[in-house]
Amino acid sequence: MVPSSTPLPGERSRLKRHAPDAERISKQKRVEMTSSEIETTQIRYAGLAGFLYLFVDVADSLGLSIAGRFAVPGDFAETARRIMGSELLYRI
């Protein structure tokens, strides 16, 4: 019988593959972010998302107010004349 402290012939290479390597562990530690860094990153992305939401809301309101100036209720011909009169503003 083989003593339990001696690895079997194929077991040694298997143990080496699964044994943690000091260099690999140190690289993983350098890559990991602390919880405060993660929270700071999430706060920055949340702020960016809030800013973009407000920007889109303001742009949409501005677009609706500009387009509302061209529309004449019940008179399609007058609406078309206003659009042709300031086509660049309508396209914006």
One-letter-per-residue 3-state SS of 2-17: CCCCCCCCCHHHHHHH
* pLDDT the model gives residue 20: 55
> What would you report as the CA-atom Rg of the chain, rounded to the nearest whole angstrom?
34
* pLDDT the model gives residue 33: 66
* pLDDT the model gives residue 51: 98
- Print pLDDT tens along the chain (92 aa): 555 556 555 555 555 555 556 566 655 555 566 778 889 999 999 999 999 999 999 999 998 888 888 888 988 999 889 889 888 887 76
- Residue 64 main-chain phi, psi, to 5 deg: -70, -35
* pLDDT the model gives residue 67: 84
* pLDDT the model gives residue 91: 77
Positive or negative, the CA dihedral 32, 37, 42, 48 is negative
* C-alpha to C-alpha distances, 54 to 62, 68, 78, 79, 90, nearest whole angstrom: 12, 21, 34, 30, 23
* pLDDT the model gives residue 46: 96
